[in-house]
Structure 1
Amino acid sequence: MAEITELIGKARGGDPMASERLFATLYDELRRMAAGQLRGDPGMRATSLVHEAYLKLAHHGAVEVNDRSHYFAVAARVMRQIVIDHVRSRAAVRRGGDLRFVPLDTTAFQAVASERDEEVLALDAALVSLAAVDEKLAALVEMRFYAGLELSEIADVQQRSERSLKRDWRRARAYLQRELTAE
């Protein structure tokens, strides 16, 4: 990850070779994250997700990230946007169905693969609500649910204790469950 930080600095300084190497490294990391999320699903879905995420990152200035922590946050947000866009387009074709709760012990990709689109959309709306209340908790949910990072990985990235992240994870889940069951 030190290489990523170094490449970010060089790319921000205008070095085109560093920018190309940075994107290649970011692509590999995104592929690893997506493959981990989509275990058991056909590889083409992971590849499609990574290609879309990579294109978004490359097209919208991924060299604007500051450090490793920021990179993971941006990657998780991009993956969330791609999943939600995919679900919305699929839901536009067919409306209706019972709204069921998306358990947060699964991942967004597993929910999408199971065609639980309304659940994913309801979770996204609850996540927007959570972000308005506590942006750090919403970022934690994105990293767990959309990027598939374990709390230990997030603790390393954010340089926080795993214990405090577990406490935040419980708070975030409680908030989202309350939002999803209120009506």
Structure 2
Amino acid sequence: MADVTQILNQIERGDPAATEQLLPLVYGELRKLANAKLLHEKPGQTLQATALVHEAYIRLVDVDRVQRWDSRGHFFAAAAEAMRRLLVEQYRRKQRIKHGGEMQRVPLLDIVADRAEDDIEALDEALTELAAEDELAAKVVELRYFAGLGHEQIAEFTGVTVYEARKKWTYARAWLREKLSGQ
């Protein structure tokens, strides 16, 4: 296996094959670096270490821009800076109005699963009302809550796609939450 510094020099000279040789040699260290960067991020960060490594690597070995690295250490310093910039860009993107701006993420509690046994009658009435509005959504709740089936099994049983089963489950939970929290 060639030394990272030699491969960096080959990339600098424009050798396209060298970029393919570099990633396997530095991937582990880049992954550790990405994990370290993500540890300092707020909870709920959606960017994962693998994606951060790949995005940073693409920026580092961009064919259109000739990069010059003096050493292996210089390369990893540039990788750390690229990761930092990616995290800042993602933060700024999330702060834009079209991505929610200053809205805060609120966890959607599972109103169905959190019902006390004495509230089962209220749940039954709500499910009957939901069935009048959206029969499939009510059926999904019955199969998920009372039968304990997963989305794949529900999809197979009802003849819809797994995506549709998940969508109906999400809708029904929100609908039931709204209905049952008003009591």
What range is the shorter-chain TM-score in? 0.3 to 0.5
Larger-gyration structure (1/2): 2
Q: Which has the higher helix share?
A: 1
* TM-score (normalised: structure 2): 0.42
* TM-score (normalised: structure 1): 0.42
